[in-house]
């Protein structure tokens, strides 16, 4: 068989890394693949990391995947070019499977139409969803609304998520699978892939020496526990929460690995970096960019790893902590960690919220949260707003505690500054969040769950498990009925309603400076 993998680009990043991991796993499988085509729009720098495999892999630039200026009703040009590329490589509908990544995100407007047309023509197709445009990718979602000239979310979802027996959907997490199921995707064509365990650099490094080297370079106290956020600081990483930890836990030091690449994310990252310096917080930015510091040394230097992310499209940060043998502290994301817990992994250092006294930020909290929410979605046509039932939202004063992630960044900064200057308040916040106590140190005995986690993760999320699951999904798609045609999802519009609801809103993901 021939496998065709399609994405509008293969730049270095999450999707490209997933594709490379899939190919590595498939090469070790028994699936009779004799050739792989990687179709893209002209950007393939991330494929330089591709290793030699048992089958040939050809990257092919498709003109219609590079040009995103066309109207969505011109998707036939993309459909034809995809089919022509496959035919030129000797493939046909009888022996070829198409695997699309993020067809619905909105980075390329012709993809959903091409998917539907290819499905109608009888090609077996797998659609892997990494990110939803409805999940606060506001610019992308706005493109769909404008290009479809629609007033209601059901029209968008009928276009983005066609249904057919030969269209198989793949979700990254159980939450995403549930969302697609609520949309009307049938169980027979709805699948999940296990998380992909990241490659952890093998290291025999002296941990104490690595910590001394890093803390000296970052001007941090080497005698205090060091928590490292091993991520790029995008808006979804909720960097303000890292800074609150550094303000409250003055018996520890913190660092974040690297800056983001998105221009808006970069502005947010720079703002928090400046704020941290002005407040003299024991947290440093760009730790992975320090000259002479490798990724292996960064992980070796950490007494614990940290996360405050409010959204992830995979489990890499959690698996990295497990496989590096480091305790993990910070914010839990049940949408991701529930899958890991189902495999037997434990995360005693995580909590799904970080409580602070609402009185710290005063009575303006609820109005400012509402204002940020309206800034994120207020531009929507009336039909979208009506679908959200916003008149049911409780907009009264917040009494007691509030989850820090619910605050707009201005209020987050106010809370951080208050905790830094008022040690009594810092103590109250720490007592309200027990995971802030007893931070791990290298000199202490490792928690017993670390070794068990590593063993369970190695058993559940290895290359063999990924290859087995991919094989099952591909065979199901190849054996599916090709003649039934496409239909719209039964509950179109529900995906937007669930993802854009006010109760799940976290302003840090949407603010544009």
Q: Residue 11 carries which DSSP code?
A: -
**Residues 474 and 452 both lie in one domain:** no
3-state secondary structure (DSSP) of residue 477: helix
Distance CA 343, CA 466 (A): 14
254 or 316, which is more confident: 254
Distance CA 254, CA 226 (A): 6
**Residues 302 and 437 both lie in one domain:** yes
CATH number for the domain that contains residue 435: 3.40.50.2000
CB-CB neighbours of 490 under 10 Å: 12
Q: How many domains does the chain have?
A: 2
For residues 224 and 230, is the Cβ–Cβ distance under 8 A?
Answer: no
149 Ramachandran zone, left/alpha/beta (phi>0; psi -120 to 50):
left
Structure confidence by residue, pLDDT tens digits, 332-387: 999 899 989 999 999 999 999 999 999 898 877 888 999 999 988 888 999 999 99
Tell how far CA 200 is from the center of its chain.
19
195 or 240, which is more confident: 240
Structure confidence by residue, pLDDT tens digits, 202-250: 666 789 999 999 999 999 999 999 999 999 999 999 999 999 999 999 9
**Residues 95 and 14 both lie in one domain:** yes
**Residues 62 and 183 both lie in one domain:** yes
**Residues 45 and 99 both lie in one domain:** yes
Instruction: Answer yes or no: is pLDDT of 107 > 70.
Output: yes
Angle 92-95-99 from CA coordinates, rounded to 5°: 90
**Residues 7 and 108 both lie in one domain:** yes
Distance CA 400, CA 364 (A): 14
Tell me what the mean pLDDT of segment 54-74 comes to. 87
**Residues 421 and 475 both lie in one domain:** no
Distance CA 222, CA 213 (A): 9
- By residue count, the chain amounts to 513
Which range marks the domain in which residue 325 is found? 207-353+412-457
- Can you give the pTM of this predicted structure? 0.91
**Residues 221 and 282 both lie in one domain:** yes
Instruction: Answer yes or no: is pLDDT of 74 > 90.
Output: no
CB-CB neighbours of 399 under 10 Å: 8
**Residues 285 and 431 both lie in one domain:** yes
CB-CB neighbours of 233 under 10 Å: 24
3-state secondary structure (DSSP) of residue 231: strand
Distance CA 278, CA 302 (A): 25
Distance CA 37, CA 86 (A): 8
Structure confidence by residue, pLDDT tens digits, 436-483: 999 998 777 788 899 999 999 988 998 999 999 999 999 999 999 998
**Residues 241 and 284 both lie in one domain:** yes
In this structure, is residue 139 part of a structural domain?
A: yes
Q: What pLDDT is recorded for position 313?
A: 79
Q: What is the DSSP string of 324-383?
A: HT--EEEE--HHHHHHHHHTT---TTEES--EEEGGGTGGGHHHHHHHHHHHHHTTS-HH
- Of the candidates 304, 315, 299, 319, which has an alpha carbon nearest to the alpha carbon of residue 436? 304
Contacts of 336 (CB under 8 A, 6+ apart): 173, 175, 195, 312, 314, 315, 318
**Residues 428 and 298 both lie in one domain:** yes
**Residues 181 and 213 both lie in one domain:** no
């Amino acid at each position: 068989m021939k496998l065709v993998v399609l994405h509008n680009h293969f730049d270095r990043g999450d999707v490209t890394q997933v594709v490379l991991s899939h190919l590595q796993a498939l090469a070790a499988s028994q699936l009779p693949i004799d050739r792989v085509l990687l179709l893209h729009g002209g950007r393939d720098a991330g494929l330089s990391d591709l290793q030699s495999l048992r089958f040939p892999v050809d990257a092919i630039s498709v003109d219609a995947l590079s040009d995103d200026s066309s109207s969505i009703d011109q998707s036939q040009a993309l459909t034809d070019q995809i089919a022509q590329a496959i035919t030129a490589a000797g493939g046909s509908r009888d022996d070829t499977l198409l695997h699309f990544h993020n067809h619905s995100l909105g980075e390329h407007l012709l993809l959903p139409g091409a998917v539907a047309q290819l499905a109608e023509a009888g090609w077996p197709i797998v659609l892997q969803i990494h990110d939803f445009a409805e999940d606060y990718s506001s610019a992308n979602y706005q493109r769909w609304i404008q290009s479809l000239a629609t007033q209601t979310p059901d029209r968008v979802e009928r276009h983005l998520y066609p249904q057919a027996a030969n269209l198989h959907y793949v979700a990254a997490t159980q939450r995403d699978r549930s969302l697609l199921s609520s949309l009307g995707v049938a169980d027979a064509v709805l699948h999940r892939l296990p998380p992909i365990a990241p490659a952890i650099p093998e290291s025999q490094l002296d941990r104490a020496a690595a910590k001394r080297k890093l803390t000296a370079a970052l001007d941090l106290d080497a005698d205090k526990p060091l928590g490292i956020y091993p991520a790029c600081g995008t808006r979804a990483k909720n960097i303000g929460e890292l800074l609150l930890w550094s303000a409250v836990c003055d018996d520890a030091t913190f660092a974040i690995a690297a800056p983001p690449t998105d221009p808006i994310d970069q502005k947010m990252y720079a703002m928090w970096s400046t704020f941290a310096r002005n407040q003299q917080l024991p947290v440093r930015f760009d730790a992975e960019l320090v000259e002479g510091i490798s990724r292996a040394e960064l992980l070796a230097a950490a007494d614990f790893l940290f996360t405050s992310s409010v959204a992830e499209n995979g489990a890499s940060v959690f698996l990295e902590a497990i496989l590096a043998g480091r305790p993990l502290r910070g914010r839990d994301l049940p949408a991701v960690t529930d899958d890991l817990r189902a495999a037997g992994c434990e995360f005693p250092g995580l909590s799904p919220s970080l409580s602070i006294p609402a009185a710290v930020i005063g009575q303006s909290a609820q109005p400012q949260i509402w204002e940020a929410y309206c800034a994120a979605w207020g531009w929507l046509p009336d039909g979208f707003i009506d679908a959200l039932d916003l008149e049911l939202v409780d907009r009264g004063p917040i009494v007691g505690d509030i989850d820090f992630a619910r605050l707009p960044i201005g209020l987050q900064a106010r809370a951080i500054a208050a905790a830094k200057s008022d040690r009594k308040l810092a103590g109250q916040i720490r007592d309200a969040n027990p995971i802030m106590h007893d931070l791990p140190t290298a000199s202490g005995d490792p928690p017993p769950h670390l070794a068990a986690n590593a063993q369970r993760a190695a058993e559940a999320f290895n290359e063999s498990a990924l290859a087995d699951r991919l094989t099952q999904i591909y065979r199901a798609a190849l054996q599916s009925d090709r003649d039934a045609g496409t239909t719209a999802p039964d509950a179109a519009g529900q995906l937007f309603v669930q993802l854009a609801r006010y109760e799940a809103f976290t302003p840090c993901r949407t603010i544009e400076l």
